[in-house]
Each structure stands twice: as structure tokens, then as C-alpha cells.
Amino acid sequence: MGEPAAADAACPRDGSRKHDIISCKFNPSGTSVLATTKTGFLIFVLDREGAVSLQHEYDVGVEIKFAERLYSTNLVAYVTCENPEVFVVFHCKRRKIVCDFRYPSTISVVRFNRQRVIVAVKEAIYIHNVRNMQIVQIIKDLPHGLPSNIMELATSDNCGYLAFPFKTDSGTVRIFDVFQLQDVSCIQAHQSPIAVVKFDPTGYRIATASVRGTCIRVFDSAHGQKLCEFRRGFKEVKMVSLSFSLDNRYLSATSDSETIHIFKIPVDSNPDNAGFLQSVRNTMTTAGGLLNTEERAFLTMPSPLHGQYAVGNFGSLSVGVINFLLINPQGLLYIYSLAENAEGSGFIRPVRQVNLQEKKKATSIIISSLNQEDGSGKTKKDDFFIGPSNFESSKTFEINDRVVPQSTE
């Protein structure tokens, strides 16, 4: 793609100012934004009304290549331009480095879920146990130069699917289960090379778009069956992002065009694995099924950024409300609410526009985040921890090709 993914921006040019935001990424629920600057990162939180406040700010001191936050926890992983082969885990509440790990070559992708840390380097993917960072699997048969924005990890606690292209210039998507440590499926999604992939909240569906950007397809990620296909348009564009709503009813698509597309998914809104697959079988037995159906957009809206690079993400800032959020790498954030009327037509309403560059550091928030206590007067323990329990913050752990048997987890 012509520009870096919002979560994986390349090292900034020397002309950018120290505190300018250069990349932004939403957490899965759309309730916070991780932004990187030339020498650090910031975490902004969104309240129920869409108001934005700065929760954490940290100056690394060197240029950030990219950063990744684990859901809504205090843990942020980052890679710097100065040491692109070193993966650093930082604890925002304690304001200290938990641990760091050096890999054999430059790191291109970092992905988290609650059981695994995925680190991709040249021609290899390292799968770590999140609790102790032991390597449980290395995928070595990777295409050279794998783009970072087309590697996706399911965020569900029950599904450990990892998606990435079968080959660099291929339209085929490989699905690997990082929990069971085995291949799941290989999906021939497009004839042209893959541009964007995105799992739904369950992990059992995956949306794909090719470099042409004219159509978007949704597949059963476990079995590779095509469930539905959406027509974005006939003009080729550069796809930027795909996002499923948290209730699995909608799918958004952003590109370098002037229009944002939102599609309505014609399948079970909240599928569990068994029920979802049964609904797929039932749908496929109807006349024509979904396999040969192209659906037009349920709703389109002009992009307020007028074709600039921007990432879309569904969220729910308050109960029963579906929010659509749009952000560009420099921190211009647009918040909308999405709804349907009695006739089934969709409409979208602007809620708030925020420029994260202008948000000032909230000292009270920073102080309270450093010293949170429970009713007993003791500091709360995190419900999640990454890395060796006896870490030394000054020590760098060398990553090699030794795989720890899964039975030791």
C-alpha cells in the first residue's frame, strides 16, 4: 500500500516535530486510542459521550517505529527505529520497562491476545506464551517481505486464529491456530494480492480485500467457505481498513477514495461456532445462496478527510449504541453513531470531532493511574502480566530458535 498502516507507521521523517502524532490505532472495543509520536506514545480514552482525555504519556527518547497495546490493559509493546530488532514491553501504570527481547532480524509485526504474543521478523513468525514469553512455535515457511498490515490475530479469548498471506503477491490467506499450534485453513480469497484482512469479534469470520479494492469478501475462517461478497465500487482504490461491529451486524471499509462504505452482513448476528456454521449451511441451500451474491453498501458517507489515509473502527461507547470511529495518522478523530429506522434503512449521525494533537496532558489522570489502590489500601495487582516474573528491566533477552514444548506451558 502507498502509506503505512496506522498501527505500523514507518520511522518519521526528520522534519516532524518531537510531539507530533504520527500514527494512531484503536483498541478492539473502540474505547481508546494508542498514538505514537516521534519519541514516545500516548493513550487516549473515550468516555460514554465521546469525550476524549489523555490517560498515559511516555517519552521513549528515540524514534518509535510502531507500538501495540494489549486490549485496555497497562501494557504497551513498541519497537524503535534505533533498535528495530528489539521488542520492548512497557507498563504504563508502573512507568517502567517490564522486559525486552532481541530477535535475529528486524521486527515487522507485533500482535497480542491474552494467551499469545506474535512477533514477525524476516521470513519467520515467533509465537510466544504470553505469561513467560517462551517460544511455543516458529513458523518459518513465510513469504519474504510480508506486509505488516495484512497480518491479523483474532481478539477472542476462545479463538486463536492468525491470518497472513500464503505468498507475498498471493490472493490466498493462510489461517493458523496459535492456541492449538496447527494450520486451520487456506482461503483462496482473491485473484489479486491481499491488501487487508480483518477477523470479526468471534474470530470465526474473516473479511478480505485485494489490492484492487473493488470487492470485499467474508469467509468462514475455519473452513474457508465464502459467506458473502460486497461490491465497494468498480474503480480501483487502495484499501486502508476493514472493521466488524461488535455485534457482527455491520462491516466498514475505508480506502483512499472520498467515500466510506458500511455493509450489513446477511448472516447470524451473534454466531457461536456451531450455530454459525449451521446458519452458513442453511444459507447455502437457498436459491443461489450467498456464494454468488454481491451486496451493495447498506450505507455510504463522504469521508470528512476527503480521501486521506484513515482507519475506521466500530465500537460501543455506551450500552446499546453502535459507534463508528474514524482517525487519520495525525490524530484527527471523528465519532459517529449508527442506527436503523423501522423500515430497515441505515443512518449515521456525527457525535464529536477531536484533534488529538490539541489534547493537553491531564496531570491528575497520570498521577491516579500510577497509584491505584483497592479498598484494603494495597495497590491493585494486574489481572494480566507478560514476560518472566523475575525480569530485570536492564536486561535484554536474546530470542533464538529454541521452541519450548507446549506441555511446559
pLDDT, tens digit only, all 409 positions of the chain? 344 443 344 454 444 555 689 999 999 889 999 999 988 999 999 999 899 999 999 998 888 999 999 888 889 999 999 999 999 999 998 999 988 999 999 999 999 999 999 999 988 999 999 888 899 999 997 777 666 668 999 999 999 999 999 887 889 999 999 999 999 999 999 999 999 999 999 999 999 999 999 999 999 999 999 999 999 988 999 999 999 999 999 999 999 999 999 999 985 534 454 444 444 444 433 333 344 456 788 899 999 998 889 999 999 998 889 999 999 999 999 999 999 887 878 899 999 999 998 875 443 333 333 333 333 333 333 444 454 443 444 456 676 665 544 433 3
Query: By C-alpha distance, which of 352, 368, 397, 286 is closest to 56?
Result: 368
What is the rounded CA–CA span in Å between residue 314 and residue 306? Answer: 20
Contact 165, 193 (CB under 8 A): yes
Compute the C-alpha angle 200/201/202, nearest 5°. Answer: 90
DSSP string, 119-138: EEETTEEEEEETTT--EEEE
Check if the beta carbon of residue 9 is closer than 8 Å to that of residue 36.
Answer: yes
Identify the pLDDT of residue 213. Answer: 94
Q: How far is CA 268 from CA 252, 278, 280, 344, 398, in A?
A: 17, 10, 9, 16, 46
Q: How many of the other CB atoms lie within 10 Å of CB of 77? A: 23
At residue 115, the pLDDT reads 93
21: cell is 502524532
Question: Is residue 82 within a helix (H) or strand (E), and if so which, with residue range?
Answer: none
**213 conformational bin, left if phi > 0, alpha if psi -120 to 50, beta if neither:** left
Closest CA to 147 of 127, 181, 170, 130: 170
What is the distance between the alpha carbons of residues 183 and 172, in angstroms, rounded to a whole number?
14
Provide the whole-model pTM: 0.82
Integer-rounded Cα Rg, in Å, for the chain is 21
C-alpha cell at 75: 501494557
The number of beta carbons lying within 10 Å of the beta carbon of residue 148 is 19
Instruction: For the chain, give every domain's residue range.
Output: 21-389
- Specify the pLDDT at position 28: 87
Number of Cβ atoms within 10 Å of the Cβ of 287? 4
Identify residue 255 by its one-letter amino acid code.
S
- The CATH architecture assigned to 21-389 reads 7 Propeller (2.130)
How many helices (DSSP H) and strands (DSSP E) are in the chain?
Answer: 2, 30
Helix (H) / strand (E) containing 293: none
Distance, in Å, from the CA atom of 389 to the CA atom of 264, rounded to the nearest integer, reads 46
